[in-house]
């Protein structure tokens, strides 16, 4: 199926422009397009281009609730991640995150042991050990890149917790190959021109998919043959439901890719952005943070609200023409997106939405209702790795606050898309131990994060 059908129509206002161009801008530069072009329109369904029904963004609690709960009308989209059938690696992009209906339910059930609290106890110990190996725990005051270090921490934790491999074993490039497959899938040369030719970008990408699958299949075979271990791969290889059903090698490979694609950069950027909020502010009158009084949970939630690492969800395909929260009919075949970036900036829910206020999440504040705070989605499609990601970020920040915060070497922070659907600092963020205790931030982050009025 083609990615989007620009012949579809919807009787709704939206940004001006050419549908194909606007659709690609929304997909490739989501944060900028959402804030600058979609944000001014507040109706429940906003087309990426006025009157065009090929790609739409839904807004508001009732619309978000309808999309999250009606999984028959709004299904995970085909077209984005389809691979040629009949190959051993054809399922590399099939995972619980992209499955629909009974297959989604089956996969989610078989994956649950990997995120059970028993597994989380092991993961927490790994997170703490990874922190102790990081630059954040080093005793020297040499400057280093905060963003790069958070990426390294996230990758090491995924390798150790999911695959049972230690980053010190020189296997980092293996994880990189898995992660970049999803990023490359969003390249317009791959996304729009799917010709399996030896010289084509799509053909070369398919060969990289095949090589990554072969490596994963070898690792899966080793885990199946061995004794059970505490890493997620071993858990999945030995998991059996009450009917004797197991995940196949192809399915496990797809799920591992899904875990890496959904959990690597997003967690690292969430960690980076939350940490930046502890080191500075665009508000010259803001007081420096006292590490002994920081509410880590409130800081993480507020950074996820104001500076989400995932400004836009993966798309859903509309399976039948439908009204969304009283909107004009959304045509069958439309690609539909939700936006945490826009939902988290609703002034009716979050007073002064451009201000960083962790106090919103403490006792005495009304806080958002269900479907108004969606960093990991909600309902039956809530991100399966949400607890894994949250625990990783909170463990790392808690240990860092105990050890001592670094200081920013320079004030410029540019927030925007860094890869695929992931947003974060677009430039290196140099820090050092013993640096400034508080910095007045500059850069494009000040467009989305404002001083208190």
| Dist CA 54 CA 2 (whole Å) | 11
216-237 exposure pattern, b = at least 16 Cβ within 10 A, e = fewer: bbebbeebeeeeeebbbbbbbb
Structure tokens at 384: 């399966």
Going from the C-alpha of 158 to that of each of 93, 142, 172, 257, 325, the distances in angstroms are: 18, 27, 11, 11, 39
Reported for 348-355, long-range contacts at CB under 8 A and 24+ positions apart, including other chains, are: 349/61, 350/305, 352/452, 352/453, 353/306, 354/306, 354/448, 354/449, 354/450, 355/449, 355/450, 355/451, 355/452, 355/453
Q: Is 150 part of any known ligand binding site? A: no
Is 376 within 8 Å of 109 (Cβ atoms)? no
Q: How far is CA 20 from CA 118, 336, 411, 429, in A?
A: 47, 15, 37, 34
- Reported as half-sphere exposure (CB side, CA atoms, 13 A), residue 81 has a value of 25
Q: Which of 398, 430, 405 is nearest to 127 (CA)?
A: 398
Q: Which of 352, 329, 272 is nearest to 304 (CA)?
A: 272
Residues in the chain: 453
Name the β-bridge partners of 317: 75, 335
Residues tagged in the binding site annotation: 383
Annotated binding site for heme: 383
């Amino acid at each position: 199926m083609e990615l989007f059908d620009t012949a579809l129509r919807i009787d709704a206002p939206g940004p001006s422009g050419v549908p194909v161009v606007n659709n690609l801008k929304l997909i490739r530069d989501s944060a900028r397009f959402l804030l600058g072009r979609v944000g001014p329109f507040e109706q429940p369904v906003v087309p990426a281009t006025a009157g065009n029904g090929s790609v739409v963004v839904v807004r508001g609690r009732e619309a978000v609730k309808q999309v999250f709960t009606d999984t028959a009308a709004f299904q995970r989209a085909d077209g984005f991640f389809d691979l040629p059938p009949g190959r051993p690696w054809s399922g590399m992009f099939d995972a619980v995150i992209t499955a629909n209906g009974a297959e989604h339910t089956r996969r989610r059930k078989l994956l649950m042991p990997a995120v059970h609290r028993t597994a989380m106890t092991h993961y927490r110990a790994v997170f703490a050990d990874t922190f102790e190996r990081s630059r954040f725990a080093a005793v020297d005051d040499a400057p280093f890149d905060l963003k790069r270090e958070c990426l390294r921490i996230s990758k090491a934790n995924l390798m150790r917790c999911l695959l049972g491999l230690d980053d010190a074993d020189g296997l980092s490039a293996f994880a990189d190959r898995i992660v970049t497959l999803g990023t490359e899938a969003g390249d317009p040369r791959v996304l729009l021109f799917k010709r399996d030719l030896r010289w084509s970008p799509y053909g070369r990408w398919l060969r990289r998919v095949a090589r990554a699958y072969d490596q994963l299949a070898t690792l899966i075979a080793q885990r199946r043959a061995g004794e059970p271990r505490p890493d997620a791969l071993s858990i999945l290889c030995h998991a059996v439901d009450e009917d004797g059903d197991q995940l196949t090698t192809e399915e496990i490979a797809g799920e591992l890719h899904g875990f890496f694609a959904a959990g690597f950069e997003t967690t690292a950027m969430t960690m980076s952005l939350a940490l930046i909020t502890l080191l500075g502010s665009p508000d010259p009158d803001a007081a420096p943070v006292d590490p002994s009084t920081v509410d880590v949970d409130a800081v993480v939630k507020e950074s996820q609200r104001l500076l989400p690492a995932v400004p836009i969800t993966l798309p859903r395909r509309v399976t039948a023409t439908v009204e969304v929260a009283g909107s004009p009919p959304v045509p069958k075949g439309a690609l539909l997106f939700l936006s945490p970036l826009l939902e988290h900036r609703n002034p009716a829910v979050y007073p002064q939405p451009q201000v960083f206020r962790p106090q919103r999440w403490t006792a005495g504040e009304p806080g958002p209702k269900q479907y108004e705070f969606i960093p990991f989605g909600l309902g039956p499609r809530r991100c399966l790795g949400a607890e894994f990601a949250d625990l990783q970020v909170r463990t790392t920040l808690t240990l860092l606050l105990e050890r001592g915060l670094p200081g920013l070497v320079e004030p410029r922070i540019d927030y925007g898309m860094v890869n695929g659907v992931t947003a974060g600092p677009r430039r290196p963020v140099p820090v050092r131990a013993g640096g400034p205790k508080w910095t007045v931030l500059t850069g494009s982050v000040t467009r989305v994060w404002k001083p208190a009025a």
